[in-house]
């Protein structure tokens, strides 16, 4: 039984209690009510669920207490949570699998969304092949020396350093979007990734705008679905009976 699949990207939870956060809790409540009715329900975060996640200090869990409580409540009612690494929450450890029963997939997951049909879910940053400065930054921030450095630093200093780097990255991205030079998903690379994974769909985020693109291939076609950012509008991709539906909040 495949059930209901829900996908979100770039939610950027930061521990606050704004309309955006309340919409996310509304989505969780909707999914939990479906799961409580006996439906198999799975939620996939396609990266950047959290504004900042570097798992090694209890202070981080306290900062996100309201968000973690909402996720735990949904999980306790039967929602299966899956986490894919983004550029802000790539350092998951054992805390969320232990507390939520969440599955951490790293850079991507292959999902059966209908009998015999599969989708590749990923953050989308590796598909922005022309954004070489970001890809260099990605290699640095995920390197072992940087990981060691952040573990050695007091939490406030480590958080401030990562936050500073992320702020620079966000400002750069905002300036690029304003100038019409926003990161672009490489459709050829997306097609290669789908073929390598044996999938006919790829679902991602990262570039903060919704798009559906058909990618032709010999003997059939593939489709890329890119989700928008919650910083602009709460949104989710729902799949039931093999049919995908893009929904912007409120969620019912």
pLDDT in tens, 73-85: 999 999 999 999 9
pLDDT at 114: 95
pLDDT at 85: 94
Rounded to whole angstroms, how far apart are CA atoms 171 and 177? 10
Using 50, 70 and 90 to split pLDDT, how confident is the model at 144? confident
For the chain, which domains are there? Answer: 4-248 (3.60.21.10)
84 close to 47: Cβ distance less than 8 angstroms: yes
Please give the average per-residue pLDDT across 195-211, as a whole number.
95
Alpha helices by DSSP H, listed for the chain, are 19-36, 58-63, 65-76, 95-100, 132-141, 144-152, 155-178, 187-197
Taking only the tens place, the pLDDT of each residue in 205-250 is 999 999 999 998 877 889 999 999 999 999 999 999 899 999 997 8
Minimum mean pLDDT among 96-105, 155-164, 167-176: which range? 167-176
pLDDT at 192: 95
Q: Tell me the β-bridge partners of 43.
A: 6, 81
Bigger pLDDT: 160 or 111? 111
Q: Among residues of the chain, what percentage have pLDDT more than 70?
A: 90
Name the pTM for this structure.
Answer: 0.90
pLDDT at 181: 60
Cα 242 off chain centre by: 21
């Amino acid at each position: 039984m495949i059930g209901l699949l829900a996908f979100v990207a770039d939610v950027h939870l930061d521990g606050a209690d704004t309309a955006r956060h309340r919409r996310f809790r509304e989505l969780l409540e909707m999914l939990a009510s479906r799961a409580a009715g006996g439906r198999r329900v799975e939620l996939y975060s396609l990266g950047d669920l959290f504004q900042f996640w570097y798992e090694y200090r209890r202070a981080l869990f306290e900062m996100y207490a309201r968000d973690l409580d909402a996720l735990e409540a949904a999980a306790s009612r039967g929602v299966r949570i899956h986490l894919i690494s983004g550029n802000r929450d790539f350092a998951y450890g054992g805390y969320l699998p232990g507390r939520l029963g969440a599955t951490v997939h790293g850079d991507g997951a292959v999902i059966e969304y209908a009998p015999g049909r599969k989708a590749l879910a990923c953050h989308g940053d590796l598909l922005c092949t022309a954004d070489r400065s970001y890809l260099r930054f990605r290699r640095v921030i995920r390197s072992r020396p940087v990981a060691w450095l952040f573990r050695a630093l007091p939490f406030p200093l480590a958080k401030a350093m990562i936050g500073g780097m992320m702020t620079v990255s966000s400002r750069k991205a905002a300036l690029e979007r304003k100038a019409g030079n926003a990161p672009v998903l490489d459709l050829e690379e997306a097609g290669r990734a789908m073929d390598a994974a044996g999938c006919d769909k790829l679902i991602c985020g990262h570039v903060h705008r919704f798009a559906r693109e058909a990618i032709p291939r010999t003997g059939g076609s593939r489709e890329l679905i890119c989700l928008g950012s919650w910083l602009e509008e709460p949104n989710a991709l729902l799949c039931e009976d093999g049919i995908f539906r893009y929904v912007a909040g409120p969620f019912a």
